[in-house]
Amino acid sequence: QKEVEQDPGPLSVPEGAIVSLNCTYSNSAFQYFMWYRQYSRKGPELLMYTYSSGNKEDGRFTAQVDKSSKYISLFIRDSQPSDSATYLCAMGASGYSTLTFGKGTMLLVSP
């Protein structure tokens, strides 16, 4: 079993849809959970960060962590074509210097 599992997609939605992206993990030591967005041929950029369990909201983005189920989610409301990118979940046990990444989910938002 891989440490972090993420459906690669692609996930295609119309503009304005609510998007749900998910990752599962097996390492119970993970405490820091991040979502990175990576546009084609670019480097990843940090989108959301959550420590331990709970929800965090930032504009149209909401990150959820359920440590009991080892499951994290990223919700995007009112999705826009500019949200089309690959979304990578990442997690770490202490700090996030050496992160473990999921494979990424490709999201396509059509106008």
Partner 1 sequence: NAGVMQNPRHLVRRRGQEARLRCSPVKGHSHVYWYRQLPEEGLKFMVYLQKENIIDESGMPKERFSAEFPKEGPSILRIQQVVRGDSAAYFCASSLLTREAVSWTVNTGELFFGEGSRLTVL
Residues of the shown chain interacting with partner 1 in the complex, contacts defined by CB under 8 A: 4, 6, 8, 41-46, 49, 88, 90, 92, 94-104
CB of 90 to partner 1, least distance (A): 8
CB of 14 to partner 1, least distance (A): 27
In this complex, which beta carbon is closest to partner 1, that of residue 18 or of residue 46?
46
In this complex, which beta carbon is closest to partner 1, that of residue 30 or of residue 96?
96
CB of 26 to partner 1, least distance (A): 15
In this complex, which beta carbon is closest to partner 1, that of residue 8 or of residue 81?
8
CB of 16 to partner 1, least distance (A): 29
SS (H, E, C) the chain: CCCEECCCCCEEEECCCCEEEEEEECCCCCCEEEEEEECCCCCCEEEEEEECCEEEEECCEEEEEECCCCEEEEEECCCCHHHCEEEEEEEECCCCCCCEECCCEEEEEEC
User: Could you tell me how far CA 94 lies from the centroid of its own chain?
Assistant: 19
Pull the structure tokens for residue 40: 């084609």
In this complex, which beta carbon is closest to partner 1, that of residue 59 or of residue 111?
59
